[in-house]
A and B are shown apart, each in its own frame.
Chain A
């Protein structure tokens, strides 16, 4: 599936981030450390899947209705998916999942806030909804940073390890390619490179309180935006798309 229109590509990109993040979070259902958290994590997962649907529905509309939200989720291969690598990494242990969530939420909140000002009214409307969710997500994941970082030695180590592993994937959030730059000029997209300092401030402040160290920068791994993924995405898609691939063209 080839997407040419820049706006559509941008919208699908945001949908991909949300879908893959939601997918990873949903893997926790029935596996959380206790029931309350099982339910809370599911809520966050639902928020992301809901967000993905809004972006994909808008993209489908932009394409003139010959496709649906499901086309984007179920009929594209790995090379067509343009999510951040951060989102697709396997869920790991609870520390890894919550650290990923925290690093992403600290980005997602200023991002959705900025996107509320998009000149594209549909994007702005989706962002307005997402911003409220992100506010709650960040509150939750920051809270977990404190509890796990300043909990036991084991929880502290697990968090610190997770942060070290995740850190190289955070650069990609602030990367702006030509597609984004052009849309920024048009007032449609968010210039994410300008969000880095806000993000780093939030992260540094929270980690400090949580007695965790901010990992040293070792550069960044990128590629998600051009469809160069880790091996993991292929397995997500194999599972997610199984029905549509095994029984194409049917209504479910």
Chain B
């Protein structure tokens, strides 16, 4: 039989006010254990105040082949970026 444990992805909030950030992955039996190991493996120097773990297989990811249909259409709206609008001389900030 395979004794391979499940793969989990670990996300850590390093301090209040920041998003959880992906820091790596680990093997565990279940989410509960994954959380404990995440604490032991990824916060040995007090790197975080909150941890999320999620089974890697539960992540639905976009594919590279989706790139064109996913992101290119979003890339043609320069008017959504403030940088498109030029300011007249004398106005430094708006």
Contacts and interface: CB of A to CB of B under 8 A. Distances in A.
Contacts of A140: 36
Interface residues on A, range: 10 to 19
B40 A39 contact: yes
Interface residues on B, range: 10 to 19
- The main secondary structure of chain A at its interface with chain B is helix
Interface in A130-168: 139-140, 143, 147
B44 A139 contact: no
A36 B44 contact: no
A139 B36 contact: yes
Interface in A32-67: 34-37, 39-40, 43
A35 B27 CA distance: 9
Contact of B41 (A39, A139, A143, A147): A39
B55 interface: no
B34 to A, nearest CB: 9
A3 B32 CA distance: 46
B28 interface: yes
Interface string A68-81: 00000000000000
Interface of B: 5, 26-29, 32-33, 36-37, 40-41, 44
